[in-house]
Amino acid sequence: NAGVTQTPKFRVLKTGQSMTLLCAQDMNHEYMYWYRQDPGMGLRLIHYSVGEGTTAKGEVPDGYNVSRLKKQNFLLGLESAAPSQTSVYFCATQAGASTDTQYFGPGTRLTVL
Amino acid sequence: GESVGLHLPTLSVQEGDNSIINCAYSNSASDYFIWYKQESGKGPQFIIDIRSNMDKRQGQRVTVLLNKTVKHLSLQIAATQPGDSAVYFCAENSGGSNYKLTFGKGTLLTVNP
């Protein structure tokens, strides 16, 4: 039981390049989330999904796209990376009820030059 | 306690002392609260949670206190150990159909041996 995994762990991009971050979970959780964490800013929600085939915008969605084609996977895409997207990205999952805990992956550290 | 800004509030304690970390939450309608621990380079880790119908909840070496009157949450760590050194932050869920958490900025706890 791996819980929540994220790939890759580290990545360096040049401005304008694209990439996809993968979040995978084996807990059969309904809800999945993508956050970014920057110094002094705390965790900010980018996009989230309340079930397979659904996605919704969070607090800071601009410049990102997501897809939830399978229940266990939640993909975060950057179509044209910008230096402002340099951050640590965390995926989280939640079983389904509003009082359930969110469980986090280990993070992806992305640098955009 | 937590505050807005580039620098995290810090708490420095001696090994074996008790630690108290505070959090002021924003939404009086929030009905579920979580404390997370984040070690350097890792994802946030669930510590303990509490629902709004409770004032206190105890775990192993940790206690969470909730004061709804002043919208204040605290985390008490007994007999603090060097392994407790991390950033601690609270999260609130406003309940109902809202499955998004709002996170505090965090407090850096340093345990001196």
Q: Find the CB nearest A106 among B5, B6, B42.
A: B42
User: Residue A38: closest CA among chain B residues belongs to which residue?
Assistant: B6
For every residue of B69-107, DSSP letters joined together read TTTEEEEEESS--GGG-EEEEEEEE--TT---EEE---E
Structure confidence at residue B7 (pLDDT): 65
pLDDT at B96: 60
Cα–chain-centroid distance for residue A79?
14
- For A30, the closest chain B residue by CA position comes to B99
Residue ranges, chain A, pLDDT below 70: 1, 98-99
Check residue B1 and give its pLDDT. Answer: 41
**Distance separating alpha carbons of residues B94 and B29, to the nearest angstrom:** 6
Q: Which residues of chain B have pLDDT under 50?
A: 1-6
Per-residue pLDDT at A28: 94
Q: Give percent of chain B above pLDDT 70.
A: 90
- Give the pLDDT confidence score for residue B97 in this predicted structure: 60
Rounded percentage of chain A residues whose pLDDT exceeds 90 = 89
Q: Give the per-residue pLDDT at B74.
A: 96
* pLDDT recorded at residue B93: 86
* Disruptive mutation site among A25, A102, A103, A109 for chain B (greatest number of B CBs within 10 Å): A102
